[in-house]
Amino acid sequence: MRLEYKLKYKDSKTMARLGEIHYNGKVYDTPMFMPVGTNATVKTLSPEELKSIGSGIILANTYHLWLRPGEDIVKKAGGLHKFMNYDGPILTDSGGFQVFSLAKPKDITEEGVKFKNHLNGDALLLTPEKSIAIQESLGSDIMMSFDECVKWPSTHEYLATSVERTLRWAKRGKSVKKNNDQLLFGIVQGGEYADLRKHCCEELVKMDFDGYAVGGTSVGEDKTTMYKMVEYSTPYLPEDKLRYLMGVGDPIDLIENVMRGIDIFDCVAPTRLARHGHAYTKHGKINIKNHKYQEDFTPVDDCECYTCKNYTKAYIRHLITADETFGARLLSIHNIYFLHQLMASIRENIKKGTMSEFRDKFLKEYYGDKHE
């Protein structure tokens, strides 16, 4: 079973694209938002709930699953799909982001990255070859190359060296890939430097990956810088392959980066915000813990999700302040539904050729006077 991507339409006014992902007899439309299931579960939600909300591809985290339960156990279970009972497409990251948050610069060598297990302190080494081997054992549909996710800001000098290492690592990882049913994406690095992004794209394209990700964003940079990183990357990527922007999920960033040629996105934000009592609405994020919602018996937002059709702000506020898990579940359902509906609106406006007008209207409503 091999996932296939088909580009269907390109907007003449922006770089926005419409496409289809074909998998296991089903079709998933892009642009798409992908919920993150770090430990082979999207926090507080069941696979059935995810599908009912409208989720397509979901993510699992290579680093965390390597440490526990271990990739061998997942493989014995029949792979991630059977282990977690999800029959839709699954993407695994390379483990690089977690490693680099734990490692020091001196621990990054040509071989790979040395770091300590955050659970028990054991010394570990993750290499491009090891990352691919783990992901093959996990059995995801899309695997990511092992790369160096560089902090922002970094100097041109450091990033030039880092990009070359990332390219060598990408080549090494691709050379040991065995399972043809699993796609492998290359990751574009280069920070905010146009020449490095262009060079990284061109060299990765020569290696002929199944798809490409824009990495090195959401590491502390401002939105303008993020958008430039994407603008410096997508023009050099093949039109007939998926483009993935890693770790980005703020609503306006989804809109802006679709307009810059991105197809799929992921972020932990919708569920993380939910656990802290925050909800997306058409008029911006709200904090359900605020006192003004104590006697607010209206839905979180005007939408058709399970949460808004059945529960009120007052009730959810009570659950969150009482530390009841059901509150986090309800807000997670709503937040993920909100982003899926946003992506559906984006797709509709690409078809109509009205992305710029849609962005302006969304900005006005989302960041208006009612925004908290």
Model confidence over 317-344: pLDDT tens digits?
Answer: 999 999 999 999 999 999 999 999 999 9
Can you tell me whether residue 23 is helix, strand or coil?
Answer: strand
Structural domains of the chain, count:
2
Assess whether 227 and 359 both reside in one domain: no
DSSP 197-231: HHHHHHHHHHHT-SEEEE-S-SSS--HHHHHHHHH
Assess whether 319 and 198 both reside in one domain: no
Q: How many CB atoms lie within 10 A of CB 165?
A: 16
> Is 302 marked active-site?
no
Model confidence over 271-299: pLDDT tens digits?
Answer: 999 999 999 999 999 999 999 999 999 99
Confidence (pLDDT) at 369: 57
Confidence (pLDDT) at 230: 98
> Is 29 marked active-site?
no
Range of the domain at 331: 275-372
Nearest to 198 by CA among 188, 208, 183, 206: 188
Domain boundary residue, one of 214, 240, 267:
267
Q: What is the largest CA-CA distance in the chain?
A: 60
Assess whether 282 and 193 both reside in one domain: no
Domain boundary residue, one of 267, 286, 312:
267
Assess whether 97 and 38 both reside in one domain: yes
Tokens encoding 180: 């043809």
CA distance 23 to 308: 31
Catalytic residue among 11, 93, 141, 253: 93
Confidence (pLDDT) at 372: 43
Assess whether 83 and 193 both reside in one domain: yes
| Residue 370 per-residue DSSP state | T
Can you tell me whether residue 195 is helix, strand or coil?
Answer: helix
Model confidence over 168-180: pLDDT tens digits?
Answer: 999 999 999 999 9
Assess whether 130 and 181 both reside in one domain: yes
Assess whether 70 and 19 both reside in one domain: yes
Can you tell me whether residue 125 is helix, strand or coil?
Answer: strand
Model confidence over 56-67: pLDDT tens digits?
Answer: 999 999 999 999
Catalytic residue among 11, 141, 253, 266: 266
| Residue 118 per-residue DSSP state | T
| Residue 36 per-residue DSSP state | B
Assess whether 144 and 56 both reside in one domain: yes
Assess whether 42 and 188 both reside in one domain: yes
Model confidence over 109-118: pLDDT tens digits?
Answer: 999 999 899 9
